A = this chain, B = another copy of it.
Amino acid sequence: MKKYISILKRTKLFAGIREEEIASMLNCLNASVKNYSKKEYVFRQGEYIRDFLLLAEGRLMIQKEDYWGNLSILNEICVGEMFGEAYAAPDSGAILNDVIAAEDSTVLFLDIEKILSLCPSACPYHTRLVKALFYTISEKNRKFVQKLGLMSQRTTREKLLSYLSDEAKKQNSSSFIISFNRQQMADFLSVDRSAMSHELCKMRDEGMLDFHKNEFTLFEE
């Protein structure tokens, strides 16, 4: 467990908390570790979450597959990010999506019940943790709104432009690398891969952007 503390120190949840404190908090939250290999499921749609998770290594996808096999990627979870904190509330029901490892991953499980209710005095950092949790879930909330803005774009081109300019902004450069391959990117934007590929090339021909493999560059108009 100790090897993960240096990673945890850099997460938003445990930011500014000393290593010894983190160790005692992990204990208090019943932390356990589990490894997943690529393509393995962490949660499945319809399951009830008892723990929330914090990603120590690798990458996860929040995704959904419908009756007809259409895949949609809702979100990706990168190192240091969490999932399942929205299920701390009572009566929060089953989860609506699958959580699957996009790469070999190491996941910390923390007891979701304890984080809000236990030891308000025993853990001096507990209040701080709750606040950090609140901020994290707020941030995720705002990101969902942003993704909803993306998804409400009508055309493939508009979705691409929204997505790519969001990525450029996030990585603070007009040249950036994305972690999706084309199929995943299409699933993330909820469009057809070939149509998206077509549109990307058209935009390149029009001089709006350039790309090689997963590296994209956006040009000013």
| Chain A 54-72 near chain B by CB (<8 Å), digits 1 or 0 | 0000000000100000101
Q: How far is the CB of A210 from chain B (nearest CB, A)?
A: 24
Contact B88 A149 (CB under 8 A): no
Q: Are A92 and B140 in contact (CB under 8 A)?
A: no
CA distance A149 to B148 in the complex (A): 10
Q: What copy number does this chain have within its complex?
A: 2
A17 adjacent to chain B (CB < 8 Å): no
Q: Do B190 and A152 have beta carbons less than 8 Å apart?
A: yes
Q: A116-B131, A131-B116 are in contact. Are A144 and B138 (CB under 8 A)?
A: no
The contact string, 1 if C-beta is below 8 Å from chain B, for chain A 93-110, is 100110000000000000
Instruction: Tell me the nearest residue of chain B to A187, going by C-beta.
Output: B152
Complex CA gap A172/B74 in Å reads: 27
Cα of A133 to Cα of B116 in the assembled complex, Å: 12
A141 at the interface (CB under 8 A from B): yes
* Interface: A193 (CB within 8 A): no
A211 interface contact, C-beta 8 A = no
Closest B residue to A146 by CB, please name it: B96
Given the interface pairs A96-B146, A142-B93, A144-B145, the reply to whether A88 lies near B152 with Cβ below 8 Å is: no
Interface size class, chain A = 35 or more
Is there a chain B Cβ closer than 8 Å to A147's Cβ? yes
Which residues of the other chain, B, contact A93 by a CB distance below 8 angstroms?
142
What chain B residues lie within 8 Å of A90 (beta carbons)?
Answer: 135
Q: How long is the Cα–Cα vector from A12 to B92 in the complex, in angstroms?
A: 14
Which among B134, B141, B145 is the interface contact of A97 at CB below 8 angstroms? B145
A149: contacting residue among B64, B135, B137, CB under 8 A: B64
A sample of 19 cross-chain residue pairs with beta-carbon separation below 8 angstroms, ordered by A number, consists of A70-B154, A74-B149, A86-B139, A86-B145, A88-B135, A89-B134, A89-B135, A90-B135, A92-B138, A92-B139, A96-B146, A116-B134, A137-B137, A137-B138, A141-B144, A144-B144, A151-B152, A152-B190, A153-B190
Sample of 11 further A-B pairs with CB below 8 A, known A74-B152, A86-B142:
A64-B149, A64-B152, A72-B152, A85-B138, A87-B142, A93-B142, A96-B142, A97-B145, A116-B131, A134-B134, A147-B148
